[in-house]
Amino acid sequence: MAWKQNIIEDFKQLVSFDSISFHERNTADWLLARLKSMGFSVEEDQAGAYYGGDTGNIFAVLDGELEGDPVIFCAHMDVVEPGSGKKSVLEKDGTIHSAGDTVLGADDISGILEILYGVQLVLDSGKPHKKIEILFTIGEELYVKGSDVFDYSKVTAKQAYVLDLSGAVGDAARRAPSIISVRAEIRGKAAHAGFEPERGIHAIAVAAEAVTRLSMGHVDEDTTFNIGTINGGTATNIVPDSCVVTGEIRSYDHSKALEYVKNTEKIFAEEADKAGATAEVTHQVHLVAYETPVESRTVKDFLKACEKTGLPGTLTETFGGSDNNSFAKHGIEGLVLSCGMYQAHSTNEYTKIKDLYDGAELIRTLIEL
Q: Active site includes 78?
A: yes
44, 45, 78, 164: the catalytic one is 78
Q: Active site includes 196?
A: no
133, 140, 355, 358: the catalytic one is 140
Q: How many residues are given for the chain?
A: 369
Q: What angle do CA 254, 211, 322 make, to 5 degrees?
A: 30
* Residues classed as catalytic: 78, 140
